[in-house]
Structure 1
Amino acid sequence: MERVMITGMGAISPIGNDVETYWSRLVQGESGVTSIPTFDASRYKTRIGGFVQDFDPEARFGRKEARRMDRFSQFAMAAAEEAWEDSGLILEQVDRERLGVYVGSGIGGIQTLLEQEAVLRNRGPERVSPTLIPMIISNMAAAMISIKLGALGPSLSPVTACSIGNTAIGEAFRLIRYGIADVVIAGGAEAAVTELSLASFGNATALSTRNHEPTKASRPFDAGRDGFVMGEGSGIVILESLSHALRRDARIYAEVIGYGASSDAYHMVATHPEGNGAHQAMKSALLEAGITPGEVDVISAHATSTEVGDRSETLAIKRLFGEHAYRIPVTANKSMIGHTLGAAGGLEAIALVQSLREGIIPPTINQEQADPICDLDYVPNLARKADLEVGMSNSFGFGGHNAVIVIRKYKE
């Protein structure tokens, strides 16, 4: 079986529109959560979110191409372009029949849908855009990337809610591992902070209402947490077989060594209170990686800042790792960028790779009041230097979808 490497990365996030900026601000513990800048949220329970700043799609893609893509596809395309350039791959030297794209989105083009629904009601059916459907369907990010590169290999848009990024990376990992593809562009994208989604999540009491302190609203594992903060962005990685990477003398960032997936089979939106599905996914990922729990040096937690979710993930970690759980640093990137839904797994995988490469663990900010159940080492408030070899990244989604990947520092 092939070993699977990460050779390129691209990020669009609330704290930076490239990997270097995103990582630098993450390590500094900077929050990208602000008051909502895109619409009047005065009537909403929650009036904050994690928004991508200074992103000009027309400058990036040209007016015509930009207008054919919803914002989530624009994010995915921008992150994929950065990742491709970062990888050093030359399209003419890649077997395009063995070049795949696994990029998903949980909600897809909801902003385009809302805009065109308004056109229908106010201006009539004759004025509705003929590109509405291709712009809103969630597979379009993967499709547009495939079209851009002429990638003829397998193309997939997984829809596993907030675990999409890890599902995409994990399934792409296996695609390469079993010799079906040489290179796969993998990750997720989301741009769903709209009036409708904010109202729905708010009425479900899932969102933080700490509107007066946006930067302190997302606080995973802290006893004062009151819900998650919606965010947007995209995280894309280039996965490549080791043999393919070595043939072209590629720079290798890290190695994906395991993937585990499971279902809670419990509830439409609630996490299993004891973290059964999370435990199973982590256990499966370690089994495929061929390592023991004691070999994991850092965990990038799903950690959305909800009471049940954070507690159940903590319980799952304790159950799997035993006493070692108290010796593993657990970091929560969502404390700074909010919950970017389908983009979360990709963005958090990038951060984990950077941690392994540089020996720095980003902090979990807004740690002020201890929760007696959430009593692990969450790297509170300040980044930490550490000797790291193996990291685990957790992603869990509505409907009980769980996806976990294990990444190791590259060794020849």
Structure 2
Amino acid sequence: MTSHGRRVVITGVEVIAPGGVGADAFWNLLSEGRTATRGITFFDPAPFRSRVAAEVDFDPYAHGLTPREARRMDRAAQFAVVAARGAVADSGIDVGAYDPYRVGVTVGSAVGATMSLDEDYRTVSDGGRLDLVDHAYADPFFYGYFVPSSFAAEVALAVGAQGPSSVVSAGCTSGLDSVGYAVELIREGTTDVMVAGASDAPISPITMACFDAIKATTPRHDDPAHASRPFDGTRNGFVLGEGAAVFVLEELQSARRRGAHVYAEIAGYATRSNAYHMTGLRPDGAEMAEAIRVALDEARMNGDEIDYVNAHGSGTKQNDRHETAAFKRSLGEHAYRTPVSSIKSMVGHSLGAIGSIEIAACALAMKHHVVPPTANLHTPDPECDLDYVPLTARERRTDAVLTVGSGFGGFQSAMVLARPERTAR
């Protein structure tokens, strides 16, 4: 069938995020406008410029992993597997009833097994003392940490998928791009079901040091609960987070035949690059606007049909201004009438995982007809003059939602989610 013949929908959602494990806990946090940012507890943050993060309270055994699974998997892989099992359960799908070669997996991750690699390096180098490391002290599962493809392999094993299995790593757009790639595999007829999403667990000394060096993360460690302030005039960097979100994607008619609950159709997706600078963004937002335009075109929708925009909203000055310009450029006057918010104000920025976590937020916003707020937005930046839904969630019918991502390297991605009846061909 052609790409326009096979329509792809989300029928299962699971989220592991700061503030609570599970889609329900995640949505409760967002809808109540609570923040899950706090002082770092995973290691001593005293030497670092930024000492806050959005950590997940996660016990692998409490969430069904065996001691062997927990032993061999990095924390991010654990997140991915638990979220994948949860998404399959939520969808009610019997994966075993499908041809296993037509069930695939895509996992997005920006930094892979950072936590395990960081810990292992400290061990083999004797805390950095040795120039020539001693491999005899390496973890026996070190190779699995070194290759991010192990994430997709673990998820495929967990759900019994023998079709295409891959990791998408495109920095902070990985969570959008992995789902976008999965959609294309179903549309083109290669697979019937995809278990797709993203996971990252980057809260480690090496990651904090990297972001400290470029002053991308906030130094507001004296007030961690209010440190993430997207679109606020006092913002001064993002708060690093962690987490995962995984979805079951399938063809619309197949989902309807089995009576599945459909959260949303993934109606359009596009990604672009600015070919400009590793961390810099052009102020006009042209590349993000182009990704939005193409995603809307694929969805066969106009900009004025969008009911809510989930912003990248990292809380850095240049990103928030860049995004504001992109929304105006792509949506025109409708941008001023459309609620926009950033959930990073509540759950931080989990790098490659956040794109999928934000897709989950959009699907749940559509389910509940509630737009999550931008927490900590007390002093709007005059240059960010759209409706950024400050502080309090808002009831609003959401039939079509736009979610976007922006990543180091110049990556810009956009996705349109819509109710299937709204996008009937």
TM-score range, shorter chain: over 0.9
2:48 to 44, 49, 52: 44
Superposed counterparts of 1:84-123, under 5 Å: 84-122=88-126
Shift of 1:325: 0.6
User: Which amino acid in the other structure matches residue 205 of structure 1?
Assistant: K
> Is residue 15–residue 26 contact of structure 1 (8 Å, CA) maintained in 2?
no
Aligned-partner residue type, residue 333 of structure 1: I
Identity percentage of aligned residues:
38
Separation in structure 2 between the aligned mates of residue 185 and residue 320 of structure 1, nearest angstrom: 31
1:278 paired with 2:288, answer: yes
Distance (whole Å) between structure 2 residues aligned to residue 124 and residue 170 of structure 1: 42
1:80 partnered with 2:84: yes
| Structure 2 counterparts to residues 166-315 of structure 1, below 5 A | 166-315=176-325
1:155, CA displacement in angstroms? 1.2
| Post-superposition offset of 1:119 | 2.2
- Which one of the candidate residues 341, 344, 360 is aligned to 2:370? 360
What are the residue-to-residue correspondences of 1:369-408 with 2, within 5 Å? 369-408=379-418
Distance 1:185 1:59 in 2: 19
Residue type matched to 2:169 in 1?
Answer: V
Moved runs in structure 1, 4+ residues, more than 4 A? none
1:333 to 320, 340, 343: 343
- Runs (5+) with no aligned partner, structure 2: 127-132
CA RMSD in angstroms comes to 1.3
Is contact 1:253-1:410 (8 Å) kept?
no
Gaps in structure 1 of 5+ consecutive residues: none
Equivalent position SS for 2:380: coil
Indicate which of 323, 334, 338 corresponds to 1:324.
Answer: 334
The CA distance in 1 between the partners of 2:76 and 2:146, in whole Å, is: 9
Question: Residues of 2 paired with 1:214 and 1:137: CA distance?
Answer: 33
CA distance in 2 between partners of 1:272 and 1:183 (Å) = 38
Q: CA deviation at 1:57?
A: 4.3
Counterpart check, 1:70 vs 2:80: no
Q: Deviations over 1:141-188 (max 9, x none)?
A: 111011222211111211110001110111111111222211111111
Moved more, 92-101 or 371-380: 92-101
> TM-score w.r.t. structure 1 length?
0.97
Aligned residues: 412
- Aligned-partner SS, 2:168: coil
- SS of 1:277's partner is helix
1:60 aligns to what SS in structure 2? coil
- Take 1:176 and 1:247, find their aligned partners in 2: how far apart are those partners? 17
Q: Is the Cα contact below 8 Å between 1:234 and 1:343 reproduced in 2?
A: yes
Call closer, same or farther: CA 1:284–1:113 in 2, change over 3 Å. same
Matched to 1:22, the amino acid is F
d(CA) in 1 for partners of 2:134, 2:165:
36
Where in structure 2 are the equivalents of 1:129-168 lying within 5 Å?
129-168=139-178
Post-superposition Cα deviations, 1:243-266, rounded to whole Å, max 9, x if no partner, equal 221232212111110001100111
Task: For 2:329, give the aligned amino acid.
Answer: R
